[in-house]
Amino acid sequence: MTTETLPSDVEKNGGPLAEEIEGRHLKDAAVDSILTPSSEERKLVWRQDKRIVPLAAGIYFLCYLDRSNIGNAKVLNSSTHNDMQTETGASDYQFNIALMIFLIGYFLFEVPSNILLKKLRPSRWLAFLMLSWGAITIGLGGVKTYAQMTGVRFLLGAFEAGLFPGLVYYLTFWYKTDERSIRVAFILASATLAGAFGGAIAYGVGHMNRTRDLSAWRWLFMLEGIPSCLSAILVWFFLPDWPERASWLSESEKDLAAQRLYLEGAKGSASSMTWDDVKATLTDWRLYGHYAIYFAVSLPFSSLSLFSPSIVAGLGFHDLEAQLLTVPPWVAAYIFQILMSWSADHFNARGYHCAAAAVIGAVGFLASAVLPADEYRGRYGCLIVGTAGAFACIPPMLGWLTSNMWSTASIGLAVALNVSIGAGLGQIPGVWIYKATEAKKGYPTGHGVNCAMLFFVAIGALGLRYYYGRRNRSLLNAASEGITPRLYKL
């Protein structure tokens, strides 16, 4: 067994086996007991799923709908010059600035938000965020100038920043490491549903143009912001915070939940983050490999989210028809994402699945970039393949990161940093790669950059898989006879 000692800090919440062994991420420690799944445990997980997953997916669905609808608003009723860009007087460059400023707010507020989620309880903090971004989305329907649009988009980014990293962190309080990727997938897949429904909703709302003397894009923001405000009430009252505080669990179920997460979960009663936790997380250099590949996958994630209607319009479809044809790529991404995430957890092969999905997406974008500009059907099929591959990378990637962290504080900070660097800074280049001047050429720059980023993801994921495999072999060789060391997830 390794000579490195295990820190003695423990967190207690009064329940049996609820202590959290506090280490510096994954120390080379050994454990000599493994809890095996039982029928009682499967029933507990199913009860948790019914309470948590649909609500969490619904929250993110509304968040993503309110974030990405500006892409629909940009081209909605453009044939009659009643689109958002024309009516706010923004140039193509200025409109991209408005898209980018959202990401600045997103980047700045993700880490503070995850800290507040732990301090203020998930149900309270997430409900506050929902109410805020819903009201801001409604406000977008009233902007008249480029400056107003930019300022409101910054606020939207600030209040949406905490949701996704918060939900990923939140799952670690309820689920073991081999249960997380598929649940992250169901939450993230709601973004692909939002992309599909967003196009369909925009198609319907487009027929409301000039109703009560308001352009359809204004109606779009107002109608999509209201559900977020109303849903905040449901989140406040119905989203469970921690297993130990869940009134709908019996005492025996709470004990079982604590046992399940004895080694592999975050704790609601954990102490607040310390500077030592911050320093240890910031100097754990392997994490920067995770941050790098999440940065890379964020380019196709953001560019597809914002420019799908424009990309489809560049395939020879226009106006309301373009809105409707954004739906199939998102539906394909939803299905592929769920299947890949389940398989990644089931076979403990997150690195390989992430790499495989990235290669599939990269091939789709590569074909889109090299096909002739007038090969509309072929390029539309490639868009579907590229979207499915790019989005399927993300849940195994996030499940992999949280599975290889050990303490409550380190999980929260690492997830926030990962999404902040990726979804914040990483999405900024995605705003610029689909150039309006290249629409008639088929957006070769945008497709080419996304292809390169996904190949980078594949190489990075395989590199991390090789690193963790080597570390596991070292742990096994160093372990005392009869002791099963805790290994890195692959």
pLDDT tens-place string over residues 446-455: 999 999 999 9
Percent of the residues in the chain that have a pLDDT greater than 70, as a whole number: 90
pLDDT of 122 over the 60 cut: yes
Q: Check residue 267 and give its pLDDT.
A: 66
399 or 22, higher pLDDT: 399
Q: Check residue 410 and give its pLDDT.
A: 83
> Which candidate, 340, 380, 382, 381, places its Cα nearest to that of 357?
340
160 vs 423: CA distance, rounded Å: 11
Q: 10: which DSSP letter?
A: E
Percent of the residues in the chain that have a pLDDT greater than 90, as a whole number: 55
DSSP 71-93: HHHHHTTGGGT-SHHHHHT--HH
Q: Check residue 198 and give its pLDDT.
A: 86
- Average of per-residue pLDDT across 337-350: 93
DSSP 326-361: THHHHHHHHHHHHHHHHHHHHTT-HHHHHHHHHHHH
Q: pLDDT tens digits, residue range 426-452?
A: 889 988 998 888 888 889 999 999 999
The band of 366, judged by pLDDT with boundaries at 50, 70 and 90, is very high
Q: Check residue 10 and give its pLDDT.
A: 32
Q: Check residue 336 and give its pLDDT.
A: 94
477 or 29, higher pLDDT: 477
pLDDT of 35 over the 70 cut: no
Q: Check residue 457 and give its pLDDT.
A: 97
342 or 406, higher pLDDT: 342
Q: Check residue 318 and give its pLDDT.
A: 67
Q: Check residue 250 and give its pLDDT.
A: 92
Mean pLDDT of the chain: 86
87 vs 81: CA distance, rounded Å: 8
Q: pLDDT tens digits, residue range 469-486?
A: 999 999 999 888 878 888
Which helix (H) or strand (E) element contains residue 412?
helix 408-419
- Average of per-residue pLDDT across 456-481: 93
Give the tokens for residue 474. Answer: 């070292």
Pairing of strands 20-21, 10-11: antiparallel
Q: pLDDT tens digits, residue range 235-287?
A: 999 999 999 889 899 999 999 998 888 877 666 655 667 788 888 889 999 99
Q: Check residue 1 and give its pLDDT.
A: 38
Q: pLDDT tens digits, residue range 150-167?
A: 999 999 999 999 999 999
pLDDT of 98 over the 90 cut: yes
pLDDT of 187 over the 90 cut: yes
Give the tokens for residue 58. Answer: 């619904």
Q: Check residue 147 and give its pLDDT.
A: 96
Unique residue bearing structure tokens 């926030």: 416
Q: 173: which DSSP letter?
A: T
Pairing of strands 484-485, 20-21: unpaired
Measure the N-to-C terminal CA separation of the chain; round to a whole number of Å: 21
Give the tokens for residue 274. Answer: 């310390």
